[in-house]
Amino acid sequence: MSSENDRVIVVGAGPVGLTAALALRRRGIQTLVLASEQALVMELRGSTFHPPTLDLLDEFALVPRMIEVGLKAPTWQFRDRETGPVATFDLALLTGDTSHPYRVQCEQWKLMRFLEEELRNEGVELRFGHDVTSVRQDDDSVTVIANTATGPVEVTGRYVIAADGARSAVRRSLGVEFEGFTYAELFLIASTDFPFENTLTDIAYVNYIADPLEWLVLLRVPGLWRVLVPAPENSDRDKLLSDENLQAMLQRVVPRSDAYTIAHRSIYHVHQRVAKNFRHGRVLLAGDAAHVNNPLGGMGMNGGIQDAFNLADKLKAIWAGADDRLLDRYDRQRRTVAVEAVQAQTHRNQQMISERDPETRRKALDAMRKVAADRTSAREYMLRSSMIASMRRAAQIE
């Protein structure tokens, strides 16, 4: 193999692809990033970073910058829309388990900007406008085929990390099943600069709010509150995203005489899906290309960033001569926690805050209240909800 091709090709310039590229670069592995867009995507998606992800990102010395442009969230809450706080979880209880006993609320595009800057400073090539359509591999190399404005191109390397998102062209070109389901409801999001904290005086920066009719999530990012509610699947999207509908939705959160300023609005189909395998010869799936889940718990991007560091460590060992069966271990470790931890936890969260049966609901909220009231059970719960337990579980898998 020519020295030029002695590299890893990363497909996708989202938080996972950029993290993988920088982690590989820092481990001395030549890397090339291909992405279909013309420049970084600034979509308002993820914003919650969990403690173990922050511990990993410490390697890039980026956490202080994220806190500077974000918010430290030392606590988070489950609430009842009618009666208020049900359980407040204080991440300080995790002080012995992480260097970052808090969440950081920082929009994912801000991290992506920092990563792009670091990559450019280190001379890693990012080729935008490369719409990957398929991959071809043989015993010692893999070739990525992409469409560009000037025609199709082929790029070869030793391995490919497919971090090309939920609709991954690489995963689909390999014919990999993306097993799971799609929620029957849409997720509707509006951001506003209205200071909900002045009315809902006991809220945290991250709040999952149960209600049998309209559950909601209230997330703080700098200068804005993000409000996430469910919407019936067969609704008219334009109507859902209309000022009239969003004003009505926000007025149901806190009624007021003035209209709300709506800074952003978006709507999503939400899936719980995991790829059948994360390894396909010389192609590794990571991030949303490998697993997608509902955002209740803020685990999707975090899980993907954890994939990226896991992979970079294994590829470093392979570059140093280790057997590439190590990549099968990546598959076992990361797929297991995607299913056991992330899929299970996020679906449980969705079920708990949307429960309609009064008795089941009362029991679930009482159980959560009890968990939070006891230091030992609260810590155990937070080890799971903050993804520390799943990182430890992955490390135990051979």
Ligand X SMILES: Cc1cc2nc3c(=O)[nH]c(=O)nc-3n(C[C@H](O)[C@H](O)[C@H](O)COP(=O)(O)OP(=O)(O)OC[C@H]3O[C@@H](n4cnc5c(N)ncnc54)[C@H](O)[C@@H]3O)c2cc1C
Q: Which residues bind ligand X (CB under 6 A)?
A: 11-17, 34-37, 41, 45-48, 108, 130-132, 163-165, 169, 189, 268, 287-288, 295, 298-302, 304
| Tokens matching residue 341 | 């931890």
The C-alpha atoms of residue 359 and residue 160 are separated, in whole angstroms, by 50
Nearest to 53 by CA among 331, 328, 310, 347: 310
Of the pair 101, 298, the CB lying nearest ligand X is at 298
Of the pair 22, 301, the CB lying nearest ligand X is at 301
Residue 296 near residue 353, CB atoms below 8 Å: yes
Of the pair 205, 361, the CB lying nearest ligand X is at 205
Q: What are phi and psi of 178, to 5 degrees?
A: -115, 85
Alpha helices in 131-195 (DSSP H): 169-173
The two beta strands, 103-105 and 71-73, are antiparallel
What residues contact residue 91 under an 8 Å CB cut-off, 6+ apart? 51, 73, 74, 75, 76, 101, 102, 103, 382, 386
Of the pair 14, 361, the CB lying nearest ligand X is at 14
Q: From the CB of 212, what's the least distance to ligand X, in Å?
A: 22
Q: From the CB of 300, what's the least distance to ligand X, in Å?
A: 3
Chain centre distance of CA 150:
33
Q: Which residues pair with 275 in a beta bridge?
A: 178
Q: From the CB of 152, what's the least distance to ligand X, in Å?
A: 13
* First-last CA distance in the chain: 30
Residue 44 near residue 91, CB atoms below 8 Å: no
Of the pair 343, 361, the CB lying nearest ligand X is at 343
Chain centre distance of CA 316:
24
Total Cβ atoms within 10 A of residue 244: 8
Alpha helices in the chain (DSSP H): 15-26, 51-57, 63-68, 108-121, 169-173, 196-199, 237-240, 243-253, 300-319, 326-337, 344-354, 358-373, 375-385, 388-396
% helix / strand / coil in the chain, to the nearest 5? Answer: 40, 30, 30
Q: From the CB of 144, what's the least distance to ligand X, in Å?
A: 9
Of the pair 14, 70, the CB lying nearest ligand X is at 14
| Tokens matching residue 5 | 């091709």
